[in-house]
């Protein structure tokens, strides 16, 4: 009898606990929505921090000073919820972070994050124009794979990200290839994540504005097998200070990449079927690869490109700059495209380089935009460059 009473008491306690838990769940405050993107293109951010003395938000839509984005104070309510609402923002993809009493924080209510070198920021999209191009829409989608290839020139296996357009797997056709190169501190993940390459290509191809093509996104740091955390080096903090940066080694060994692609994919393995483009350091690589191998590419894109090697770069790649440019010009090409922001710290370098091209009669297409050395510009440059290829 005592045992039955004991079990009955336990059952009552369990049921009471479940009932109390249910009541607590019903009484929990609604989930915080952050960011809230409205139809009028204003965006509200929310951050719960009852004990914080000050919370600021930093976003790449704010005016910046040099490399540092601007910051704005958020407003606290009586419960400790901090809020901030923007003015109407142009359609685009934006990154942001919080600063809580001076300590940088991501948004705990936004799971969408992108790594840029060693920084991680939340992102959101305002649709209506460029934002639509950077979004996943109801169109046919290509595939994105990470492959490992042998690089005899670097004495290692290396990782590359490859976009193949919708229909590639079931087609027997041969496709042209765009080799797309990242900037200093980036890797083979940069263009596919920060650059929204697969979304841009899917949407432009679906709209009939771009030819179906393969896009090969390399790792331009020849000291690395792959992006941080994706190689035998393990989980280490990314850095921009890597051996062999812009010293010619990447340019010298670039044929290893082309050999892998043309041996493993159905591609148009001739000059008219190859394009190369890149941002910043990747623009530098594109410039020097295309003139060092002056009959390899019919299409070249320089996005906010670095131009002149530093004094420590003694590679044979950088010898006879003027002569190799003249040879590239004589061989002929279909497009030489240069884009730069008016506030970019490389603006003068690019201006001087254009003067050099003018001096030898080398034709190019020039795109000058607002803003500086930012992904906001580079995504635009890619979306304008791609429709000009392989026509």
- pLDDT tens per residue, range 220-245: 999 999 999 999 999 999 998 899 99
Which of 91, 110, 130 delimits the end of a domain? Answer: 130
Regarding predicted confidence, which is higher, 62 or 2?
Answer: 62
- Whether residues 140 and 126 fall in one domain: no
Q: What is the mean pLDDT of residues 267-284?
A: 98
- Whether residues 277 and 317 fall in one domain: yes
Distance (Å) of CA 285 to CA 8, 234, 237, 295, 335: 77, 27, 24, 16, 17
Q: Answer whether residue 17 is part of any domain.
A: no
- Whether residues 109 and 243 fall in one domain: no
End-to-end CA distance of the chain: 90
- Whether residues 54 and 154 fall in one domain: no
Q: List the beta strands (DSSP E) in 152-208.
A: 156-164, 177-181
Q: Answer whether residue 20 is part of any domain.
A: no
Q: Is the pLDDT of residue 15 over 50?
A: no
Q: Answer whether residue 15 is part of any domain.
A: no
Q: Is the pLDDT of residue 258 over 80?
A: yes
- Whether residues 240 and 108 fall in one domain: no
Q: Answer whether residue 16 is part of any domain.
A: no
Q: What percent of the chain has pLDDT over 90?
A: 86
Looking up residue 252, the CATH number of its domain turns out to be 3.40.50.1820
Q: Answer whether residue 330 is part of any domain.
A: yes
| Counted domains in the chain | 2
- Whether residues 41 and 112 fall in one domain: yes
Secondary structure class of 15 (helix, strand, coil): helix
Please tell me the distance from the alpha carbon of residue 353 to that of residue 28, in angstroms, as a whole number.
61
Looking up residue 64, the CATH number of its domain turns out to be 2.60.40.10
pLDDT one-digit tens code per residue, 89-148: 999 999 999 999 999 999 999 999 999 998 999 999 999 999 999 999 999 999 999 999
Quote the tokens at residue 221: 């740091």
Paired strand residues for 292: none
Total Cβ atoms within 10 A of residue 242 = 15
- Whether residues 305 and 324 fall in one domain: yes
Which of 130, 153, 175 delimits the end of a domain? Answer: 130
Please tell me the distance from the alpha carbon of residue 164 to that of residue 178, in angstroms, as a whole number.
11
- Whether residues 59 and 161 fall in one domain: no
**What is the number of alpha carbons within 13 Å of residue 10 lying toward its C-beta?**
6
The candidate with the shortest Cα–Cα distance to 73, out of 52, 51, 89, 58, is 58
Q: Answer whether residue 362 is part of any domain.
A: yes
Is the peptide bond prior to 244 cis by the omega test (within 30 degrees of 0)?
A: no
- Whether residues 217 and 278 fall in one domain: yes
Domain that holds residue 326: 136-388
Please tell me the distance from the alpha carbon of residue 246 to that of residue 310, in angstroms, as a whole number.
8
Q: What is the mean pLDDT of residues 353-371?
A: 97
Per-residue pLDDT at 30: 58
Which of 130, 154, 172 delimits the end of a domain? Answer: 130
- Whether residues 173 and 86 fall in one domain: no
Question: Model pTM?
Answer: 0.91
Highest mean pLDDT out of 17-31, 60-74, 205-219, 303-317: 205-219
- Whether residues 212 and 92 fall in one domain: no
- Whether residues 303 and 253 fall in one domain: yes
């Amino acid at each position: 009898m005592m045992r039955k009473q004991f079990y009955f008491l336990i059952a009552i306690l369990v049921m009471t606990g479940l009932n109390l838990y249910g009541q607590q769940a019903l009484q929990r405050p609604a989930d915080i929505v952050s960011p809230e993107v409205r139809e009028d293109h204003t965006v509200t951010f929310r951050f719960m921090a009852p004990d914080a003395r000050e919370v600021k938000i930093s976003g790449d839509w704010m005016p910046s000073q040099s490399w540092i984005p601007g910051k704005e104070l958020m407003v606290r309510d009586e419960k400790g919820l901090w809020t901030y609402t923007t003015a109407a923002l142009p359609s685009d993809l934006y990154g942001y972070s919080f600063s809580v009493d001076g300590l940088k924080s991501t948004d705990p209510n936004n799971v969408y994050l992108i790594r840029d070198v060693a920084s991680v920021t939340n992102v959101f999209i305002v649709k209506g124009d460029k934002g639509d191009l950077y979004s996943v829409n109801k169109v046919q989608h290509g595939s994105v794979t990470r492959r490992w290839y042998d690089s005899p020139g670097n004495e290692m296996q290396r990782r590359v990200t490859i976009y193949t357009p919708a229909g590639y797997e079931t087609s027997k056709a041969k496709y042209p290839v765009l080799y797309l190169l990242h900037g200093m501190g980036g890797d083979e993940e940069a263009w596919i994540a920060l650059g929204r390459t697969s979304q841009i290509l899917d949407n432009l191809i679906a709209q009939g504005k771009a030819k179906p093509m393969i896009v090969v996104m390399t790792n331009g740091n020849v000291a690395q097998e792959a992006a941080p955390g994706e190689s035998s080096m393990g989980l280490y903090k990314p850095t921009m200070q890597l051996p062999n940066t812009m010293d010619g080694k990447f340019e010298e060994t670039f044929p290893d990449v082309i050999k892998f692609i043309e041996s493993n994919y159905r591609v148009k393995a001739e000059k008219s079927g190859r394009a190369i483009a890149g941002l910043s350091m990747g623009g530098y690589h594109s410039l020097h690869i295309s003139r060092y191998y002056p009959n390899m590419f019919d299409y070249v894109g320089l996005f906010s490109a670095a131009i002149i090697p530093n004094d420590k770069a003694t590679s044979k790649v950088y010898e006879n700059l003027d002569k190799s440019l003249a040879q590239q010009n004589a061989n002929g090409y279909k497009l030489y495209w240069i884009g730069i922001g008016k506030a970019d710290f490389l603006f003068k370098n690019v201006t001087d380089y254009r003067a050099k091209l003018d001096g030898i009669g080398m034709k190019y297409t020039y795109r000058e935009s607002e803003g500086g050395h930012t992904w906001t510009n580079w995504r635009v440059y890619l979306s304008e460059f791609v429709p000009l290829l392989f026509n």
